[in-house]
Amino acid sequence: MRRPRLYRAHRRVSVFKEVTQTPSKYNGCHFPVNLTEEKEKFFSTGSTPQFQLKEPSESLEKLGSKKRSRISTELLSEAKYVIDTVRAEFGDQSDYMAAAYGRQIDHIRGTKILASYLADSGCVGQVTVYWTPDLTSM
């Protein structure tokens, strides 16, 4: 792991760390603890992943039993229309993401932008930023 970049302002320090994977304490309780192994197994053999979660499956079942968690196909045709329209206009995901959010930048440029933003916002020293290639949505 590289040494963290430090940006100082008024004796406070913001830390920017580049890591090879997201620290497990930042993954949610329903994040698979065996994601890498199951992903490799899926791509090499095509077998269905058997994920092991941090939390017992009962908590996931309880979460899924709530009314807002129920799956409905009521708007399926509209969803397909939206996806088909986006694909026709943008092609693949990277072109859509670039149009929606701008071109991707590297972590060095991102560090400079975030350090400036933290300084302007008076948040220097209150945030640790982890740059990781395997960031997953939570």
**Distinct helix (H) and strand (E) counts, the chain:** 5, 3
The overall average pLDDT reported for the chain is: 79
Rounded mean pLDDT, 119-127: 87
Positive/negative CA dihedral, 93, 98, 103, 104: negative
Pairwise pLDDT comparison (54 vs 80), residue with the higher score: 80
Pick 4 or 73 by higher pLDDT.
73
What residues have CB less than 8 Å from 42, skipping those under 6 apart? 48, 49
Q: Tell whether the model's pLDDT for residue 44 goes beyond 60.
A: yes
Q: Average the pLDDT over 45-51 and give the result.
A: 85
Q: Name the band, by pLDDT with cuts 50, 70 and 90, for residue 82.
A: very high
**For the chain, which residues make up each domain, given as ranges?**
5-23+35-131
Look at residue 81 and tell me whether its pLDDT is greater than 90: yes
- Give the integer Cα–Cα distance in Å for 80 and 48: 25
Cα gap 68→77, rounded to integer Å: 20
**What is the pLDDT, as a whole number, of residue 78?**
96
The residue that leads in pLDDT, 23 or 122, is 122
pLDDT in tens, 23-42: 777 777 777 888 888 888 88
Average pLDDT for residues 94-114, to the nearest whole number?
A: 87
Band (pLDDT 50/70/90 cuts) for residue 138 is: very low
**pLDDT recorded at residue 21:** 75
